[in-house]
Amino acid sequence: MKALVKKSPEPGLWLENVPTPQISINDVLIKIHKTSICGTDLHIFNWDAWAQKTIKPPMVIGHEFVGTIEKMGSNVHDFKLGDLVSGEGHLVCGRCRNCLAGRRHLCKDPKGIGVNRDGAFAEYLAIPVTNVWYCDTNIPQFPSRNFVPRIGFWWAEFDRLTSGNQLHPFELLRANYCLYSFSITSSSSAPNPQREVGG
């Protein structure tokens, strides 16, 4: 499949052919229809100080997406093939004290899609069923792919808010607006950038 990859430790991204991800019994394989570009992806593209200490190339990036279920593991029973879905971008261990107490947002060893493991700027993405949610088919896919930054934002900010720090209004705006998007289709040789304001 085609994917946008941080191939080497330097600025830029590369359109590469990579293996389609494999799934385990608790995973789903999602055919990506649309994605959004987050500030995290821009950090990775620019290869700034944060990216240099966080990202381990080669890696498919991207974590905001909407698509349809292409394949399911044998232990997945809550979805069906063809369901329109998106997903939470933070994969938690499920075994640490916080996860077992229901405080998954405080997992001691979370993995970010497109940050610590291959992401959604590809034709397919495999993630655990616990991270997948339905998208209402009456909502256009353009806003559906933007559900992830909102959810991920509140997930990440919850700890900061409860620790007495204040949320700056600009951060709320940043979380609720994506300025760029693109789609990857198997019929095109490269992503098709579309500048879109709002979200």
> What pLDDT is recorded for position 154?
39
Average pLDDT over residues 176-199: 37
Kindly report, residue by residue over 8-43, the tens digit of the pLDDT: 999 999 999 999 999 999 999 999 999 988 889 999
Tell me the pLDDT band of 189, cut-offs 50, 70 and 90.
very low
Options 35, 40, 63, 90, the catalytic residue? 40
Distance, CA of 177 to CA of 171 (rounded, Å): 10
Instruction: Using the predicted structure, report yes or no on whether residue 145 has a pLDDT greater than 80.
Output: no
Instruction: Using the predicted structure, report yes or no on whether residue 190 has a pLDDT greater than 70.
Output: no
Kindly report, residue by residue over 54-90, the tens digit of the pLDDT: 999 999 999 999 999 999 999 999 999 999 999 999 9
Distance, CA of 170 to CA of 157 (rounded, Å): 13
Domain boundaries, the chain: 2-195
For the chain, what is the mean pLDDT?
78
Ordered alpha helix ranges (H), 39-83: 39-46, 49-54
Cα 75 vs. chain centroid, distance in angstroms? Answer: 22
Please say if 162 is a catalytic residue. no
Instruction: Using the predicted structure, report yes or no on whether residue 92 has a pLDDT greater than 60.
Output: yes
Kindly report whether the global pTM for this prediction surpasses the value 0.75: no
Average pLDDT over residues 130-141: 83
Q: How far apart are the first and last CA of the chain?
A: 28
By residue count, the chain amounts to 199
Options 20, 35, 43, 185, the catalytic residue? 43
Please say if 33 is a catalytic residue. no
Distance, CA of 153 to CA of 134 (rounded, Å): 19
Pick the CATH number of 2-195 from 3.40.50.720, 3.20.20.70, 3.90.180.10, 3.50.50.60: 3.90.180.10
